[in-house]
Structure 1
Amino acid sequence: MPQIDFTLPHWAYWLGLILFPLVAAALAKRPKSTERTYSLFIGYFILITGGILGLHRLYLKSLVGLIYIPIFICILYANSEGQTARSVVSDMSNAVRQAERTLDREIPRVETAEADLPGLLQKQATAEAGSLDKRRADRDVKRAQKRIEQGRERIEEAKTELQTARPAMVTAEADLTFWRNFAKYAFWLILAAMAIDAVLLPGLVRKANANLPPERPLSETELKLKELEDAERKDDSSYVSSGWTGRIDRLSLFCGEFVSYWAVIAVIVYYFEVMSRYVFGSPTNWAHEAMYLMFGMQYLIAGSYAMLTESHVRVDIFYAPLSPRRKALVDLLTSVFFFIFAGTLLVTSWIFAFDAIAVPSGNGLLSDWSRGQITTGEMLANWNLSQWTDTNIRWGEISFNEWEVPLWPMKWVMVIGGLLLVLQGISKFARDIRVLVRGA
């Protein structure tokens, strides 16, 4: 199988987190057709992302797509067998090296001991009984005989190991080559089928649309159920208040919707990681870290959105039956605990963020400024393009794994999340006062 040697650039990671939600939101807000049809764009998108499984054919209700699945299973099986063979090759190679090292070490030792043994035996025979020389000679003879005995045992064990390990290594290498070629040719077969389908896809989409059954009108029961569902479904815009607090509410809604599309990025990245690891045998060193950092930022940014839409989990056995004015009064009395939490989060995040960029990082002006080594004016006056392009400038704290992504932007997202939460708390506080004063 071909290997995938790809590491996501840091700039592409941040650019994707910014651009993807904007594009996804624009596509989601497009006018939707009332008629159900198959889309050529979606067909090609599925072909690129899931064509190896034949999902583009299944999307178009074509059972030909089922042909892809057994071929894909064969690739997975071949990779699994290849991994087993690779482990055997590694184990047997280590066994051969250790056995050869044992022979290289023990054979000279045994030969030396065998050559010295006649002289030691002669000294033992000529030494006076009970004397110090006699005891020393006895000890030297025993040591030499023990060395010869143990050395011969190790030599025999090493030779036996070689006789077993070398054929096993050769067999495993042959198996590894076979399964690699099997997976490679199966993969090329799928790619060839995908290339053919890429040409046929426009016709397949037209055929699938032509075979769509006419939509039947909804029954009275279905219409009533749909009306009930629409009535129960509360649109996010209904949470936006009037007046100046509405600006804060709309900001929270925008940020919550923006980061919600990051979940789609996670699906794409983890799909790439699974395919890269199990199909191509090339696990990434960035996918997991990129996603858990992204989800951490999503959690913080979405806090104000969850507060606005009342999505936070709470026990409201006593709160739910209250009237709007009493609810507002309870919210005002308990808001002190919220502002203690949100204020602590904001202040602590601010400290964390400045600590993150204050980590010494090459000759980065931003880090020098955050550590107080230069003034703000000096930092701005000396700022140039090299601060963005110089690989020696890290701009503060970075992760400890091979990807080495800068961590200081995540710390500043904590600040943004804390600030949004405080602003939404102010909006909630003002609305509660409005309810108490005006009664609505």
Structure 2
Amino acid sequence: MSAATEREAVQRSRLGAAVSLYVRYVEAVSRWVGRFAMYLIFPMGAILLYSTVMRVIFGYPINWIMEMSQFMLSAYYLLGGAYSMQLGAHVRMDLFYSMMSPRRRAITDSFTVLVVIFYLVVLFRAGVSSTEYSITYSQKNYTAWAPLLWPIKAIMTFGIFLMLLQTIATFFRNVAEARGKSLA
């Protein structure tokens, strides 16, 4: 084996190790954040139950309940999006996909995930811009409660960023599977 070929093999193995490490860490973070997000359903349910009790039993409507539950729902699905993608629990059009071989699916997924990456990059840039704006100008919602918007915008932007990282990890997994290899 020539020295140049040996160097290429070493570089490929280093790249493979770096990609494998990236996928492992991103998936660990996605799993941890996703499992945390799963439990947001309980405080959201408690808030809505509190609102119902206050309105029905005591006749006292609370104006912040709907907004707070909407904020929590947004955090719930945006923080859980990366974990959902990792588990393959997202919606897929299965007209021809189920008839493909696993290798063909991986090749198809490798191309389609590039569109998702592009979309998430655009969404993330807009999220960062919107969060910066809301922090700079202390943006508040135009309601009676008038909460600051930067906390939920920051959470949403973080969820989009995590989804972007998980999508890139999914791309690496698909490319490895299309090549007949596995990322451990």
| Residue 358 of structure 1, CA deviation | 1.6
Contact 2:103 2:180 in 1 (8 A): no
Q: Kindly report which structure 2 residues correspond to 1:257-272, keeping only aligned pairs within 5 A, or say none.
A: 257-272=35-50
Counterpart residue number, 1:285? 63
Tell me the distance in 2 between the aligned counterparts of 1:439 and 1:250.
21
Q: Kindly report which structure 2 residues correspond to 1:331-370, keeping only aligned pairs within 5 A, or say none.
A: 331-359=109-137
String of CA shifts for 1:248-268, please: whole Å, max 9, x gaps.
112111111111111111211
Q: Kindly report which structure 2 residues correspond to 1:23-34, keeping only aligned pairs within 5 A, or say none.
A: none
**Residue 317 (structure 1) aligned with residue 59 (structure 2):** no
Contact 1:269 1:287 in 2 (8 A): yes
- Give the letter aligned to residue 423 of structure 1: L
**Residue 408 (structure 1) aligned with residue 163 (structure 2):** no
Counterpart residue number, 2:13? none
Tell me the distance in 2 between the aligned counterparts of 1:310 and 1:304.
10
CA RMSD between the two structures = 1.5
Counterpart residue number, 1:253? 31
String of CA shifts for 1:134-189, please: whole Å, max 9, x gaps.
xxxxxxxxxxxxxxxxxxxxxxxxxxxxxxxxxxxxxxxxxxxxxxxxxxxxxxxx
* Match among 133, 141, 144 for residue 399 of structure 1: 141
**Residue 276 (structure 1) aligned with residue 54 (structure 2):** yes
Contact 2:117 2:164 in 1 (8 A): yes
Q: Secondary structure at the match of 1:283?
A: coil
Greater Rg, structure 1 or structure 2? 1
| Residue 318 of structure 1, CA deviation | 1.2
Contact 2:64 2:145 in 1 (8 A): yes
Contact 1:352 1:411 in 2 (8 A): yes
String of CA shifts for 1:252-286, please: whole Å, max 9, x gaps.
11111111111111211111111111111111121
Identity of aligned residues (%): 28
Tell me the distance in 2 between the aligned counterparts of 1:415 and 1:255.
14
Tell me the distance in 2 between the aligned counterparts of 1:426 and 1:339.
7
Counterpart residue number, 1:172? none
Contact 1:325 1:439 in 2 (8 A): no
Tell me the distance in 1 between the aligned counterparts of 2:104 and 2:180.
13
- Give the letter aligned to residue 411 of structure 1: K
Counterpart residue number, 1:122? none
Structure 1 segments unaligned to the other structure (5+ residues): 1-241, 360-395
Tell me the distance in 2 between the aligned counterparts of 1:439 and 1:245.
14
Q: Kindly report which structure 2 residues correspond to 1:181-200, keeping only aligned pairs within 5 A, or say none.
A: none
Tell me the distance in 2 between the aligned counterparts of 1:309 and 1:414.
20
Contact 1:346 1:415 in 2 (8 A): yes
**Residue 425 (structure 1) aligned with residue 167 (structure 2):** yes
- Give the letter aligned to residue 277 of structure 1: R
Q: Kindly report which structure 2 residues correspond to 1:60-79, keeping only aligned pairs within 5 A, or say none.
A: none
| Residue 243 of structure 1, CA deviation | 4.2
Tell me the distance in 1 between the aligned counterparts of 2:59 and 2:125.
45
Aligned length: 163
Q: TM-score w.r.t. structure 1 length?
A: 0.36
Tell me the distance in 2 between the aligned counterparts of 1:244 and 1:400.
41
Q: TM-score w.r.t. structure 2 length?
A: 0.82
